[in-house]
Homo-oligomer: A and B are copies of this chain.
Amino acid sequence: MNTRFAPELAVTRWFNSPKSLTLAGLRGRPVLIHAFQMLCPGCVIHGTPQAQKAHMMFRDSDLQVIGLHTVFEHHDAMNPGALEAYIHEFRLTMPIAVDQPGEGTPTPVTMRRLGLRGTPSSVLIGRDGSIRHHGFGQEDDMAVGALIAAAIAEKPFTPALAAAGTDDADACTDEFCPAP
Protein backbone atom coordinates (compact mmCIF):
# COMPACT_ATOMS: atom_id res chain seq x y z
CA MET A 1 0.00 0.00 0.00
CA ASN A 2 1.18 3.46 -0.86
CA THR A 3 1.03 5.17 2.50
CA ARG A 4 0.99 8.66 1.11
CA PHE A 5 -1.89 8.45 -1.34
CA ALA A 6 -5.28 7.24 -0.31
CA PRO A 7 -6.25 3.93 -1.93
CA GLU A 8 -9.56 3.74 -3.77
CA LEU A 9 -12.80 2.81 -2.00
CA ALA A 10 -14.30 -0.65 -2.51
CA VAL A 11 -18.01 -0.31 -1.88
CA THR A 12 -20.96 -2.64 -2.27
CA ARG A 13 -23.75 -0.18 -1.55
CA TRP A 14 -24.35 3.54 -1.03
CA PHE A 15 -26.86 5.31 1.20
CA ASN A 16 -27.65 9.02 1.06
CA SER A 17 -26.01 9.38 -2.32
CA PRO A 18 -27.70 9.16 -5.71
CA LYS A 19 -24.47 7.88 -7.24
CA SER A 20 -21.36 5.99 -6.32
CA LEU A 21 -18.49 8.15 -5.19
CA THR A 22 -14.85 7.39 -5.86
CA LEU A 23 -11.73 9.07 -4.58
CA ALA A 24 -10.56 9.33 -8.18
CA GLY A 25 -13.71 11.23 -9.04
CA LEU A 26 -13.29 13.46 -5.98
CA ARG A 27 -9.64 14.33 -6.75
CA GLY A 28 -9.23 18.06 -6.35
CA ARG A 29 -11.56 18.19 -3.39
CA PRO A 30 -10.79 17.47 0.26
CA VAL A 31 -12.44 14.29 1.54
CA LEU A 32 -13.15 13.18 5.10
CA ILE A 33 -13.72 9.44 5.48
CA HIS A 34 -15.34 8.41 8.75
CA ALA A 35 -14.95 4.66 9.22
CA PHE A 36 -17.48 3.28 11.67
CA GLN A 37 -19.59 0.34 12.74
CA MET A 38 -23.20 0.88 13.76
CA LEU A 39 -22.71 -1.10 16.99
CA CYS A 40 -19.41 0.51 18.00
CA PRO A 41 -20.05 2.69 21.09
CA GLY A 42 -17.28 5.19 20.35
CA CYS A 43 -18.74 5.64 16.86
CA VAL A 44 -22.36 5.98 17.91
CA ILE A 45 -21.67 8.39 20.75
CA HIS A 46 -18.78 10.46 19.40
CA GLY A 47 -17.38 9.72 15.99
CA THR A 48 -20.46 9.49 13.81
CA PRO A 49 -22.21 12.58 15.25
CA GLN A 50 -18.93 14.45 14.75
CA ALA A 51 -18.71 13.37 11.10
CA GLN A 52 -22.36 14.28 10.56
CA LYS A 53 -21.70 17.69 12.13
CA ALA A 54 -18.76 18.23 9.77
CA HIS A 55 -21.01 17.25 6.87
CA MET A 56 -23.44 19.98 7.87
CA MET A 57 -20.93 22.61 8.96
CA PHE A 58 -18.88 22.53 5.77
CA ARG A 59 -21.77 22.02 3.37
CA ASP A 60 -21.02 25.29 1.58
CA SER A 61 -17.44 24.26 0.92
CA ASP A 62 -16.32 21.55 -1.49
CA LEU A 63 -15.43 19.15 1.34
CA GLN A 64 -16.88 15.67 0.80
CA VAL A 65 -17.68 13.72 3.96
CA ILE A 66 -18.12 9.96 3.51
CA GLY A 67 -19.26 7.54 6.16
CA LEU A 68 -17.72 4.12 5.58
CA HIS A 69 -19.36 1.15 7.29
CA THR A 70 -16.34 -1.06 7.93
CA VAL A 71 -17.88 -4.11 9.57
CA PHE A 72 -15.22 -6.42 10.97
CA GLU A 73 -17.28 -8.23 13.64
CA HIS A 74 -20.94 -9.13 14.26
CA HIS A 75 -21.48 -9.18 10.49
CA ASP A 76 -25.00 -10.56 10.79
CA ALA A 77 -26.16 -7.86 13.19
CA MET A 78 -24.64 -5.08 11.10
CA ASN A 79 -25.91 -6.06 7.68
CA PRO A 80 -26.92 -3.38 5.14
CA GLY A 81 -30.59 -3.61 6.09
CA ALA A 82 -29.78 -2.95 9.74
CA LEU A 83 -27.51 -0.10 8.67
CA GLU A 84 -30.37 1.43 6.72
CA ALA A 85 -32.54 1.42 9.86
CA TYR A 86 -29.68 2.90 11.85
CA ILE A 87 -29.17 5.72 9.31
CA HIS A 88 -32.88 6.46 9.41
CA GLU A 89 -33.19 6.47 13.19
CA PHE A 90 -30.06 8.52 13.79
CA ARG A 91 -31.00 10.94 10.99
CA LEU A 92 -27.69 10.70 9.23
CA THR A 93 -27.63 12.57 5.94
CA MET A 94 -23.99 12.26 4.86
CA PRO A 95 -23.26 9.76 2.09
CA ILE A 96 -22.55 6.37 3.65
CA ALA A 97 -20.84 3.49 1.91
CA VAL A 98 -20.82 -0.18 2.82
CA ASP A 99 -17.24 -1.38 2.73
CA GLN A 100 -16.80 -4.50 0.57
CA PRO A 101 -16.59 -7.65 2.70
CA GLY A 102 -13.19 -9.32 2.72
CA GLU A 103 -12.62 -12.80 1.40
CA GLY A 104 -11.30 -15.20 3.99
CA THR A 105 -11.02 -12.41 6.53
CA PRO A 106 -13.52 -10.52 8.69
CA THR A 107 -11.84 -7.23 7.73
CA PRO A 108 -13.48 -5.48 4.76
CA VAL A 109 -11.47 -4.41 1.73
CA THR A 110 -11.23 -0.62 2.08
CA MET A 111 -10.51 -0.89 5.77
CA ARG A 112 -7.59 -3.18 4.99
CA ARG A 113 -6.35 -0.95 2.17
CA LEU A 114 -6.39 2.06 4.48
CA GLY A 115 -4.65 0.11 7.22
CA LEU A 116 -7.23 1.11 9.82
CA ARG A 117 -6.72 -0.14 13.35
CA GLY A 118 -10.43 -0.21 14.20
CA THR A 119 -13.43 2.04 14.54
CA PRO A 120 -13.99 4.92 14.71
CA SER A 121 -11.22 6.01 12.38
CA SER A 122 -11.00 9.16 10.33
CA VAL A 123 -8.96 9.70 7.21
CA LEU A 124 -8.64 13.21 5.83
CA ILE A 125 -7.55 13.36 2.21
CA GLY A 126 -6.16 16.52 0.64
CA ARG A 127 -7.05 17.94 -2.76
CA ASP A 128 -4.06 16.09 -4.23
CA GLY A 129 -5.28 12.73 -2.96
CA SER A 130 -2.74 12.40 -0.19
CA ILE A 131 -3.64 11.42 3.34
CA ARG A 132 -3.32 14.47 5.59
CA HIS A 133 -4.58 13.03 8.83
CA HIS A 134 -5.31 9.61 10.19
CA GLY A 135 -7.17 9.46 13.50
CA PHE A 136 -8.32 6.55 15.64
CA GLY A 137 -10.73 6.89 18.55
CA GLN A 138 -12.28 10.02 19.95
CA GLU A 139 -11.02 13.25 18.39
CA ASP A 140 -11.43 16.81 19.60
CA ASP A 141 -13.97 18.91 17.69
CA MET A 142 -11.68 21.94 17.54
CA ALA A 143 -8.84 19.87 16.11
CA VAL A 144 -11.12 18.24 13.52
CA GLY A 145 -12.48 21.63 12.47
CA ALA A 146 -8.95 22.98 12.08
CA LEU A 147 -7.73 19.97 10.08
CA ILE A 148 -10.66 20.20 7.69
CA ALA A 149 -10.35 23.96 7.23
CA ALA A 150 -6.63 23.61 6.52
CA ALA A 151 -7.43 21.01 3.84
CA ILE A 152 -10.10 23.24 2.35
CA ALA A 153 -7.80 26.27 2.37
CA GLU A 154 -5.39 24.70 -0.06
CA LYS A 155 -5.81 25.84 -3.61
CA PRO A 156 -7.87 23.42 -5.64
CA PHE A 157 -5.72 20.73 -7.13
CA THR A 158 -5.14 20.82 -10.85
CA PRO A 159 -4.67 17.25 -12.02
CA ALA A 160 -1.51 16.74 -14.04
CA LEU A 161 -3.17 15.32 -17.10
CA ALA A 162 -5.65 18.15 -17.34
CA ALA A 163 -2.82 20.65 -16.95
CA ALA A 164 -1.10 18.87 -19.79
CA GLY A 165 -4.09 19.56 -21.91
CA THR A 166 -5.95 16.35 -22.34
CA ASP A 167 -9.67 16.09 -21.95
CA ASP A 168 -9.53 12.37 -22.46
CA ALA A 169 -11.50 11.01 -19.55
CA ASP A 170 -10.81 7.50 -20.75
CA ALA A 171 -7.05 7.79 -20.45
CA CYS A 172 -5.20 6.10 -17.64
CA THR A 173 -4.25 8.20 -14.69
CA ASP A 174 -1.61 7.23 -12.14
CA GLU A 175 -4.45 5.87 -10.09
CA PHE A 176 -6.38 3.73 -12.49
CA CYS A 177 -7.16 2.83 -16.05
CA PRO A 178 -10.81 3.12 -16.89
CA ALA A 179 -12.35 0.19 -18.69
CA PRO A 180 -13.57 1.01 -22.17
Interface residues of A (CB under 8 A from B): 39-41, 44-45, 50, 53-54, 57-58, 73-74, 76-78, 81-82, 84-86, 88-91, 140-150, 152-154
Q: How far is the CB of A150 from chain B (nearest CB, A)?
A: 5
Identify the 3 closest CB pairs spanning chains A and B, nearest first.
A145-B145, A153-B153, A149-B149
Chain B: minimal CB distance from A75 (Å): 10
> What separation, in Å, do the CA atoms of A86 and B85 have in the docked complex?
15
Residues of B with C-beta under 8 A to A153 = 149-150, 153-154
Copies of the protein in its oligomer: 4
- Other than the given A39-B86, A142-B142, A142-B144, 10 more pairs (CB < 8 A) read A44-B44, A44-B45, A50-B142, A57-B142, A74-B82, A76-B81, A76-B85, A77-B81, A77-B82, A144-B145
Can you offer 16 A-B residue contacts whose CB atoms are under 8 A? A39-B82, A39-B85, A39-B89, A45-B45, A73-B85, A74-B88, A76-B82, A77-B82, A77-B85, A78-B82, A140-B141, A141-B141, A142-B145, A145-B149, A149-B150, A153-B154
Chain B residues with CB under 8 Å of A143's CB are 57, 145
User: Chain B residues near A82 (CB, 8 Å)?
Assistant: 39, 74, 76-78, 82
Q: Which residues of B sit under 8 angstroms from A50, Cβ to Cβ?
A: 142
Q: Give the distance in Å from the alpha carbon of A45 to the alpha carbon of B143 in the complex.
A: 20
Which listed residue (B88, B142, B147, B152) contacts A53, Cβ 8 A? B142
